[in-house]
Amino acid sequence: MKILINAGPTRESIDPVRFISNHSSGKMGYALAQAAVDAGHEVTLVSGPVTLQEPSGLTDFIRITTAAEMADVMKRLFASADLTILCAAVADYRPKIIASSKLKKTAGDMFLELERTEDIALSLGKVKRPDQMLVGFAAETDNVEFNALKKLEAKNFDWIAANRVGIPGSGFASDTNMIKLYCSDGRMLDLGCSAKLELARVMIRTLTEKK
């Protein structure tokens, strides 16, 4: 199977030295890429800036920095993927204007005007063919199930992996995670709490199973 995975955060510049980003470590996406390679698939990994080592055996490895770059690459590669897993924590907003020189501090407060970035999941969900599978992640601090099911439908995902963030042992930067998989056909699989690579192996097995 041809599998496309994105991982890590994006960075949205404010000026030449500052940016907006988030706590995504890329660990879950990299674990999924490794698990998919180990299961014998052709894997392309598109990664935001993280400190992890490139998984071995990838068919292609593409580094991006901004949400706009991530959107360009994902939209270009999507058509040739059988399964796409969106694990990246893409910034939802970026500064409307990127200052060309370093902003100087003043005594007062400062206000940044932000604009929406493209919702890549939504764009891909709109052009998804019946033979393709699209899987998203929902990192939530509250109402995990409700929010995950809402996203599953809104973004035309086939599956969504819901994980709690903001508690020890689950979510960003942690080596372990707690995942529940929700399918568009109504199934729910509780994968429990375990190492990200273990969860990744179970996810890849589930997502590539013949129906």
Q: Which residues bind ligand C5P (CB under 6 A)?
A: 67, 86, 88, 90, 92, 117, 119-121, 136-138, 151
The b-or-e profile of 163-178 (16+ CB within 10 A means b, else e) is bbbeeeebbbebebbb
22 noted as active-site residue: yes
* Nearer to ligand C5P (CB atom), residue 77 or residue 120: 120
* Nearer to ligand C5P (CB atom), residue 14 or residue 67: 67
* Nearer to ligand C5P (CB atom), residue 102 or residue 150: 150
| CB of 119 vs ligand C5P, minimal distance in Å | 5
CB 20 within 8 A of CB 94: yes
| CB of 160 vs ligand C5P, minimal distance in Å | 8
Tokens of 42: 């052709």
> Which is catalytic among the residues 6, 22, 143, 163?
22
The span from the CA of 22 to the CA of 204, in Å, is 26
| CB of 106 vs ligand C5P, minimal distance in Å | 32
| CB of 77 vs ligand C5P, minimal distance in Å | 13
* Nearer to ligand C5P (CB atom), residue 137 or residue 182: 137
Of residues 146, 182, 185, 140, the one with CA closest to residue 161: 182
The b-or-e profile of 64-95 (16+ CB within 10 A means b, else e) is bbbbbbbbebbeebbeebebbbbbbbbbeebb
Active-site positions read 22
